[in-house]
């Protein structure tokens, strides 16, 4: 996730763009840049680091022009650095572009563009798009004549080239492009990444979200996937990707600017909960099909020879990432790959049983968690190969690991991990399926069964999120309880732990997560009417056992809140039923987590807790 903004009008573009970037910084903050066009020339400033540095650079060396674009980056391809910062330029330095999203086929496009003589200056996936536009302009026929230029010929060539370029790219994008030869337009397009147009008086904007220009206009047009905006200072035209003109209606935004950064949500946590369909989609997209393609080799340099002598997988992680690791154990072992999971902070002694046949997976949203980094170092000393699952390009973990598999969730601002967890789970499914196929543990046919269901998950997530109000009602009813017990079995047992962690962390309510079968070995003693039991009871080979555990809790006066699906609900008696879409048992953690996040969120809201910054906690724990 990155933030993009474009301005075209009569005033100094850089003032609007820097102001807009400050509002977009929550979308990424590892590097940033700005470009303007003035008198047929482009000016460009880029820095590694936050928007404040860019502002200083522009103050020291101002840039003129009433049209410009800017970007704040959350790296996905290529480390955070000045060279990798947007905007990116073509070879001639005349066209400039900002991008939010991922170009999945960038490697093959780059190969062709290199052969055609293009010179690349960054490691990003984005840069192919600008060279592609340049290429299409160069090959436009007929070449420009003076009369064409006078009649707006450059604009039509630019538009045609832009259209052709986006037809060639696969993945997700929100783009804004300017060409110094036609400084009266910004071209912008959207596919699977947000983009909104702001309509001002004698000036217009494009941006990743309305917060970027809310100070200047509240009249906006939201672009949909597959749409292009051709933006002038006094008018905007909209097209589909085939170039057919389309009508769009504007809306007036009533949010204040802090709400706008949060996409209209009250907290980043709630916004991030609602971004989870994209987290799953972005993390699995292009990585599963077709399985025969050696995707892991291509993407992270890992192939069969790297895992053929693997004796077991060892996972290390902390907090929510550790819960993702626990789910991973069930997934890998379902595919007959032995897997151990440890808190990174408890790994010290375990590292003694690590050797060169251990494949260690470290999971960390931030990639900076001190305990996880320490565990990785110890494992490496013992000869293990290390794969990092992380959301943060260029983080310390990525530098220490042998292989890095990114989750593509965008920055997670709320301290409570939500969308990063779903991204981690998605990454685990992708890796486990590939490992199982490479190691001949499952057939392609079996793998396809999981793949086919996994690609349905983003739709199920959206469907579930659209029913958040039902979960809010349950939370409202249970906001005064001081204790909760979360239970489940098998692959959803870690989700019980995660549900308990969320409510402790943001609502300061005592909660325990327990394996349902273990209740009778102790915890059942604390069950009474003031201890609601939340049971994750979706369809499972152990559903009847779980139903029995629920009866035991009910018999001791506990209220039961059950997470069920259409299949399991016939087995379950409960005070409250929350139904989630039905999927394969192995994939059900991806859905079952969501009601627990929403439940914790509304309880914390009712208790007026500081949800995005809970007391005593930090987003990234860099001490041991
Ligand atoms: O950045 P990491 O994934 O390594 O962070 C690990 C934990 O600190 C983190 O998951 C923490 O438990 C969250 N606040 C939980 O919501």
357: confidence class by pLDDT, cuts 50, 70, 90: very high
CA distances from 385 to 403, 490, 582 (A): 8, 28, 36
Q: Which tokens in the block code for residue 564?
A: 């069920």
Report whether pLDDT(364) > 80. yes
Alpha-carbon distance 174 to 589, whole Å? 31
What is the strand order of the sheet 186-191 is part of? 88-89, 95-103, 171-179, 186-191, 227-231, 236-240, 245-246
Do 509 and 560 lie in a common domain? yes
Testing ligand 1's pocket by substitution, the residue of 315, 317, 318 carrying the most ligand atoms inside 8 A of its CB is 318
Q: How many CB atoms lie within 10 A of CB 2?
A: 27
* Ligand 1, atom 14: closest residue by C-alpha: 416
Do 267 and 311 lie in a common domain? yes
Using DSSP's 3-state secondary structure scheme, residue 284 falls into helix
Exposed / middle / buried, residue 349 (Cβ in 10 Å: 0-12, 13-18, 19+) = exposed
% of the chain residues with pLDDT over 70: 97
Q: What is the pLDDT of residues 74-85, one digit of tens each?
A: 888 888 899 999
* Ligand 1, atom 8: closest residue by C-alpha: 319
Note the pLDDT of residue 292.
Answer: 60
Q: Are 87 and 102 in contact (CB under 8 A)?
A: no
Alpha-carbon distance 231 to 188, whole Å? 8
Q: What is the pLDDT of residues 563-605, one digit of tens each?
A: 999 999 999 999 999 999 999 999 999 999 999 999 999 999 9
Check if 392 has its Cβ closer than 6 Å to any atom of ligand 1: no
Q: What number is the average pLDDT over the span 122-126?
A: 93
Alpha-carbon distance 215 to 560, whole Å? 48
396: confidence class by pLDDT, cuts 50, 70, 90: confident
Do 220 and 275 lie in a common domain? no
Testing ligand 1's pocket by substitution, the residue of 279, 316, 320, 409 carrying the most ligand atoms inside 8 A of its CB is 320
Q: Is residue 275 left, alpha or beta, with left meaning phi > 0 and alpha meaning psi from -120 to 50?
A: alpha
Alpha-carbon distance 243 to 222, whole Å? 18
Note the pLDDT of residue 616.
Answer: 87
Note the pLDDT of residue 352.
Answer: 79
Query: Where is 551: in which H helix or E strand?
Result: helix 543-555
Note the pLDDT of residue 147.
Answer: 54
- For 130, the domain range is 3-254
Do 196 and 265 lie in a common domain? no
Check if 130 has its Cβ closer than 6 Å to any atom of ligand 1: no
Check if 621 has its Cβ closer than 6 Å to any atom of ligand 1: yes
CATH number of the CATH domain containing 505: 3.40.50.10490
Check if 388 has its Cβ closer than 6 Å to any atom of ligand 1: no
Using DSSP's 3-state secondary structure scheme, residue 522 falls into coil
Note the pLDDT of residue 617.
Answer: 83
Do 29 and 149 lie in a common domain? yes
220: confidence class by pLDDT, cuts 50, 70, 90: very high
DSSP secondary structure string for all residues of 400-428: H-SEEEE-------SSS-SHHHHHHHHHH
Question: How far does residue 478's CA lie from ligand 1's centre (Å)?
Answer: 26
Testing ligand 1's pocket by substitution, the residue of 321, 411, 499 carrying the most ligand atoms inside 8 A of its CB is 321
- Catalytically active residues are 2, 619
CA torsion angle 596 598 600 603 (round to 10): -140
Rg (CA), the chain: 26
Residue after which a domain boundary falls, among 254, 270, 300: 254
Residues in Cβ contact with 280 at an 8 Å cutoff, skipping those fewer than 6 apart: 422, 423, 426, 457, 458, 461, 590
Q: State the alpha helices, DSSP H only, in 4-145.
A: 13-24, 51-60, 106-115, 127-138
Alpha-carbon distance 12 to 8, whole Å? 9
Check if 134 has its Cβ closer than 6 Å to any atom of ligand 1: no
Q: How many domains does the chain fold into? A: 3
Exposed / middle / buried, residue 560 (Cβ in 10 Å: 0-12, 13-18, 19+) = buried
Do 407 and 525 lie in a common domain? no
Average pLDDT, the chain: 93
As a residue count, the chain comes to 624
CA torsion angle 575 581 585 586 (round to 10): -120
Q: What is the pLDDT of residues 519-533, one digit of tens each?
A: 999 999 999 999 999
Do 223 and 333 lie in a common domain? no
Do 600 and 550 lie in a common domain? yes
141: confidence class by pLDDT, cuts 50, 70, 90: low
CATH number of the CATH domain containing 179: 3.60.20.10
Q: What number is the average pLDDT over the span 494-504?
A: 98
CA torsion angle 401 405 410 414 (round to 10): -60
Using DSSP's 3-state secondary structure scheme, residue 253 falls into coil
Do 295 and 386 lie in a common domain? yes
Question: How far does residue 531's CA lie from ligand 1's centre (Å)?
Answer: 27
Note the pLDDT of residue 216.
Answer: 93
151: confidence class by pLDDT, cuts 50, 70, 90: low
Residue after which a domain boundary falls, among 466, 499, 522: 466
Using DSSP's 3-state secondary structure scheme, residue 30 falls into coil
211: confidence class by pLDDT, cuts 50, 70, 90: confident
Total H helices, total E strands in the chain? 21, 25
CA distances from 166 to 133, 217, 285 (A): 9, 29, 18
200: confidence class by pLDDT, cuts 50, 70, 90: very high
Q: pTM of the predicted model, to two decimals?
A: 0.82
- Label residues 566-598 b or e (16+ Cβ within 10 Å = b): eebbebbebebbbbbbbbebbbbbbbbbbbbbb
Question: How far does residue 47's CA lie from ligand 1's centre (Å)?
Answer: 29
Alpha-carbon distance 300 to 285, whole Å? 15
362: confidence class by pLDDT, cuts 50, 70, 90: very high
Do 216 and 288 lie in a common domain? no
Note the pLDDT of residue 25.
Answer: 85
Q: Are 260 and 211 in contact (CB under 8 A)?
A: yes
Query: Where is 454: in which H helix or E strand?
Result: helix 444-454
Residue after which a domain boundary falls, among 466, 484, 515: 466
Alpha-carbon distance 299 to 155, whole Å? 37
Do 334 and 197 lie in a common domain? no
Do 425 and 544 lie in a common domain? no
């Amino acid at each position: 996730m990155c933030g993009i903004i474009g301005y075209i009008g009569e005033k100094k573009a850089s003032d609007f763009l820097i102001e807009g970037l400050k509002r977009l910084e929550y979308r990424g903050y590892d590097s940033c840049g700005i470009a303007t066009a003035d008198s047929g020339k482009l000016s460009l400033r880029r820095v590694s680091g936050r928007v404040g540095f860019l502002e200083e650079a522009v103050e020291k060396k101002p840039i003129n022009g009433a049209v410009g674009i800017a970007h704040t980056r959350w790296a996905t391809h290529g480390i955070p650095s000045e060279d990798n910062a947007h905007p990116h330029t073509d070879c001639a330095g005349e066209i400039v572009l900002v991008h939010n999203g991922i170009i999945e086929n960038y490697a093959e496009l780059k190969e062709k563009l290199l052969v055609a003589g293009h010179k690349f200056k960054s490691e990003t996936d984005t840069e192919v798009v600008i060279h592609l536009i340049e290429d299409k302009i160069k090959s436009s026929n007929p070449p420009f004549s003076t009369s064409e230029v006078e009649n707006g010929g450059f604009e039509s060539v630019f538009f045609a080239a832009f259209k052709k370029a986006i037809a060639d790219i696969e993945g997700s994008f929100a783009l804004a492009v300017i060409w110094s030869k036609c400084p009266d337009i910004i071209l912008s397009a959207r596919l699977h990444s947000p983009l909104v147009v702001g309509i001002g008086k004698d000036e217009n904007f494009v941006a990743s979200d309305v917060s970027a220009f809310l100070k200047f206009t509240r009249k906006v047009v939201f672009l949909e996937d597959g749409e292009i905006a051709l933006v002038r200072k006094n008018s905007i035209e909209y097209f589909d990707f085939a170039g057919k003109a389309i009508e769009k209606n504007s809306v007036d935004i009533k949010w204040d600017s802090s709400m706008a950064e949060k996409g209209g949500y009250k907290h980043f946590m709630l916004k991030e909960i609602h971004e989870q369909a994209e987290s799953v989609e972005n993390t699995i997209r292009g990585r599963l099909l077709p399985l025969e393609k050696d995707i892991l080799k291509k993407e992270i340099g890992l192939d069969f020879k790297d895992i053929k002598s693997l004796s077991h997988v060892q996972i290390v992680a902390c907090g929510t990432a550790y819960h993702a690791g626990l789910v991973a154990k069930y997934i890998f072992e379902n595919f007959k790959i032995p897997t151990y999971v440890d808190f990174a902070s408890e790994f010290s002694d375990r590292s003694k049983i690590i050797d060169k046949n251990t494949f260690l997976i470290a999971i960390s949203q931030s990639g900076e968690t001190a305990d996880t980094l320490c565990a990785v170092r110890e494992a490496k000393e013992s000869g293990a190969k290390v794969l990092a699952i992380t959301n943060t390009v260029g983080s310390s973990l990525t530098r220490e690991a042998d292989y890095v598999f990114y989750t593509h969730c965008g920055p997670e601002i709320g301290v409570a991990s939500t969308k990063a967890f779903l991204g981690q789970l998605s990454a685990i499914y992708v890796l486990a399926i590939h490992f199982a196929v490479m190691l001949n543990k499952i057939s392609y046919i079996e793998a396809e069964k999981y793949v086919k269901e996994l690609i349905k998950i983003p739709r199920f997530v959206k469907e579930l999120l659209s029913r958040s109000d039902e979960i809010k009602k349950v939370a409202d009813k249970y906001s005064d309880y001081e204790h909760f017990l979360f239970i489940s079995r098998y692959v959803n047992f870690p989700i019980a732990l995660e549900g308990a962690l969320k409510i402790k962390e943001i609502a300061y309510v005592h909660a325990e997560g327990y394996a349902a079968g273990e209740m009778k070995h102790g915890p059942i003693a604390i069950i009474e009417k003031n201890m609601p039991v939340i049971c994750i009871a979706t369809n499972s080979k152990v559903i009847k056992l779980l139903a029995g555990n629920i009866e035991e809790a009910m018999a001791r006066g506990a209220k039961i809140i059950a997470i069920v699906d259409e299949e399991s609900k016939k087995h379950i008696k409960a005070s409250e039923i929350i139904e989630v879409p039905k999927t394969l048992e192995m994939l059900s953690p991806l859905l079952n987590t969501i009601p627990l996040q929403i439940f914790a969120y509304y309880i914390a809201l009712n208790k007026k807790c500081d949800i995005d910054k809970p007391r005593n906690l930090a987003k990234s724990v860099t001490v041991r």
